[in-house]
Amino acid sequence: MTPAQLTYSLFAGIGAVLLLASIVGWALKTGMAKGQPNPTIDNLNARIKAWWVMVLVIGLSFMFGKPGVILLFAFISFFALREFMTLTYTRGADYLALAAAFFVVLPAQYILVYFGWYGFYSIFIPVYVFLILPILEVVTGDTKRFLERMSKIQWGLIICVYCISHVPALLALNIPGYEGRNLLLIAFLVIVVQSSDVLQYVWGKLFGKHKVAPDVSPSKTVEGLVGGVLSATALGAALFWITPFNPWQAALMALAINVMGFFGGLVMSAIKRDRGVKDWGHMIEGHGGMLDRLDSVVFAAPIFFHLTRYWWNVAAVPG
């Protein structure tokens, strides 16, 4: 199959899964809930509806190729950073650092990713911004909770901009025999990590008994975790045909993605819990905020990027 045919069949498959989910959701609503309000079923249906929108948006960005995908993830980073900084303690003196984060660092990182300048975009935020932000903070002379304020802005930038930008960075990998198909690498990552979230939710709702982290995220169960991660890993293996991996390589990659994704969700939940909120925001009906939907992608993307880059990427031969 050509890359375009692969992409179309993939999206057709996702559409079929969503259609099935919508039918199940509708059956639950009319059958089990008899059309009456039911928080769990209504939330499930809101989530399914939001999934349609998210798949549509991703599909649309794929149609525009690299610029479309870069733009999409730049906006995703923007929404995520906005949610993160809203829940973070800042003072008037942080204005300059925050303005720089939103209006300079974020666009710059995505422009660097667009031009595929790996040597710079991989150190831009961890080195340059890491050192320049405290300078922007210290010139204001406000020392109150200085280390805390500075660290939080940096952590927000790493999570919301640096980590997320590794999703579109997959486009620039040069994998022999896989030319022109890098969009599918993004699809693989997103499908595996999101289906892991969904399957953990489903397994947990059906068989969940033993809480895995009661103090951090009371809704996560051992049954959900094991069932979700294993079935999403199996799904990853079954998707090997869209990747440069063979089935067992795809399974191991999916496993790495799923484990990172799970702990990403846990870490981001711990922050929410500490801040006393249930969701990061309210952008996505039924899911919460952008970061609620993305917590697992954030942790999985850079690891997936580097594993793939280390073993499969071949530097373009000069000349």
The site for another protein (CB under 8 A) is made up of 78-79, 82-83, 85-86, 89-90, 92, 95, 98-99, 102-103, 275-276, 281-283
Q: How far is the CB of 93 from another protein (least distance, A)?
A: 9
Strand partners, 288: 284
Q: How far is the CB of 195 from another protein (least distance, A)?
A: 28
Q: How far is the CB of 82 from another protein (least distance, A)?
A: 5
Nearest of 244, 207, 286, 262 to residue 39 by alpha carbon = 286
Question: Please, which residue, 155 or 241, has the CB nearer to another protein?
Answer: 155
Q: How far is the CB of 152 from another protein (least distance, A)?
A: 13
Q: 91 with 149: CB under 8 angstroms? A: yes
Question: Please, which residue, 140 or 313, has the CB nearer to another protein?
Answer: 140
Q: How far is the CB of 254 from another protein (least distance, A)?
A: 34
CB atoms within 10 A of CB 55: 18
Handedness of CA 174, 310, 294, 189 (dihedral sign): positive
How far, in Å, CA of 53 to CA of 61, rounded? 12
Q: Write out the DSSP string of 34-78.
A: TTS--HHHHHHHHHHHHHHHHHHHHHHHHHTHHHHHHHHHHHHHH
Q: Which backbone phi and psi does 150 adopt, to 5 degrees?
A: -65, -45
Q: Which backbone phi and psi does 156 adopt, to 5 degrees?
A: -60, -40
- Give SS3 for 315: coil
Q: 285 with 50: CB under 8 angstroms? A: yes
CA 314, distance to chain mean position in Å, is: 26
Alpha carbon distances (Å) from 6 to 20, 187, 239? 21, 11, 11
Question: Please, which residue, 19 or 53, has the CB nearer to another protein?
Answer: 53
* C-alpha Rg value of the chain to the nearest Å: 20
Question: Please, which residue, 85 or 235, has the CB nearer to another protein?
Answer: 85
Q: Which backbone phi and psi does 284 adopt, to 5 degrees?
A: -110, 110
Q: How far is the CB of 28 from another protein (least distance, A)?
A: 29
CB atoms within 10 A of CB 47: 18
Alpha carbon distances (Å) from 78 to 9, 28, 183, 216, 235? 31, 36, 22, 26, 30
Question: Please, which residue, 8 or 95, has the CB nearer to another protein?
Answer: 95
